[in-house]
């Protein structure tokens, strides 16, 4: 099975992807956190830093767009093709209230006319593969058959399906019955996304769906950076590897953004990494309460010095 690393805003940055791929590997593809093209039709310096191929060595990267304007999305698709990308993903699944209020991400799922306009324009003009990352609907799963009927009208390279609705955010069980429906009725290949946190979860999924070709892992891979490697039969992350991940990434962030902003960016990652340690509650409270770089660094040192890894 192919395993992709999901786009995670604030976590799977270009710096993170570079360090992760060198230390752990295993992911077949990385999806970059979305960029939001505007009518200015210019890539910002931050977007270029994230997406220029020379900033993403040693990995297969798929850019992702968050947009409701077909014209703006198509401009970005063509610009990314000029950079050498052969596939671009459209985000139809982000459930954030600030995103959906603008009619973007999962907000498009409740406006079929706007969604159709976006897809019509992009698929009519794109010369690269276009995949869709979608949820099952905005409010309820009963919306999904109509959505899939719409998607089936386009040459979608792949449908990456987070098997929840927008209203469910990331809580509650995933809807496997909807995934079964997608497998039976989608013209495009379907990639599963949702609640595959551990190697055991992935093994159970593979046993239940032996013919399934692809799955996307997000929060589980952020918690356990060696998860993709473990799925290939490799070892779990060592304490020293996790320390290297922290030190190399922290150094890159400090150099690029300064000590305080570097710390803030690392806290995003540590909100997941601390799940790899047992008994991390007190360190977690102290780490995320502080605004002091020195105290943050003390918390990191204490985690590596005092806490056992969950798989040890």
For 122-152, write each residue's pLDDT tens digit: 999 999 999 999 999 999 999 999 999 999 9
Q: Is the pLDDT of residue 82 over 90?
A: yes
Coil/strand/helix, residue 87: strand
Q: Using 50, 70 and 90 to split pLDDT, how confident is the model at 198?
A: very high
Q: Was domain 2-231 assigned CATH 3.40.50.920? A: no
- The confidence score (pLDDT) of residue 123 equals 98
CB-based contacts of 210, cutoff 8 Å, min separation 6 = none
272: helix, strand or coil: helix
What is the structure's pLDDT at 286?
Answer: 98
Provide DSSP, 170-194. T-S---HHHHHHHHHH-SS-EEEES
**Block residue for tokens 């020379």:** 54
CA distance 172 to 287: 28
φ/ψ of 131, rounded to 5, equals -105, 160
Identify the residue whose tokens are 């604030």: 10
Give the span between the Cα atoms of 168 and 191, in whole angstroms.
20
- For residue 281, give both structure tokens: 């509650």
pLDDT of residue 32: 98
pTM of the model: 0.96
- Each domain of the chain, given as residue ranges in start order, spans 2-231, 239-306
Contact (Cβ atoms closer than 8 angstroms) between residue 111 and residue 103: yes
């Amino acid at each position: 099975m192919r395993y992709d690393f999901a786009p995670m805003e604030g976590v799977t940055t270009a710096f993170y992807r570079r360090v992760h791929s060198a230390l752990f590997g295993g992911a077949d593809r990385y999806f970059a956190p979305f960029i939001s093209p505007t009518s200015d039709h210019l890539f910002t310096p931050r977007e270029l830093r994230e997406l220029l191929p020379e900033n993403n060595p040693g990995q297969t990267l798929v850019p992702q767009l968050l947009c409701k304007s077909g014209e703006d999305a198509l401009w970005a698709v063509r610009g990314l093709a000029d950079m050498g990308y052969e596939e671009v993903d459209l985000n139809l699944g982000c459930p954030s209230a600030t995103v959906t209020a603008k009619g973007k991400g999962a907000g498009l799922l409740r406006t079929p006319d706007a969604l159709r306009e976006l897809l019509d324009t992009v698929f009519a003009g794109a010369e690269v593969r276009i995949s869709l990352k979608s949820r099952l609907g905005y409010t309820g799963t009963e919306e999904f058959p109509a959505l899939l009927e719409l998607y089936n009208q386009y040459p979608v390279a792949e449908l990456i399906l987070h098997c929840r609705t927008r209203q469910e955010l990331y809580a509650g069980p995933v809807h496997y019955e909807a995934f079964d429906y997608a497998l039976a009725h989608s013209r495009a290949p379907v990639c599963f996304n949702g609640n595959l946190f551990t190697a055991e979860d992935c093994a159970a999924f593979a046993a239940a769906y032996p013919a399934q070709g692809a799955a996307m892992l997000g929060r589980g891979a952020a918690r356990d950076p060696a998860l993709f490697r473990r799925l290939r039969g490799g070892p779990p992350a060592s304490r020293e590897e996790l320390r290297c991940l922290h030190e190399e990434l922290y150094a890159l962030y400090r150099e690029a953004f300064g000590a305080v902003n570097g710390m803030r960016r690392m806290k995003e990652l540590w909100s997941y990494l601390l799940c790899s340690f047992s008994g991390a509650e007190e360190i977690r409270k102290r780490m995320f309460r502080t605004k002091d770089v020195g105290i943050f660094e003390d918390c990191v040192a204490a985690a590596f010095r005092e806490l056992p890894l969950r798989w040890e």
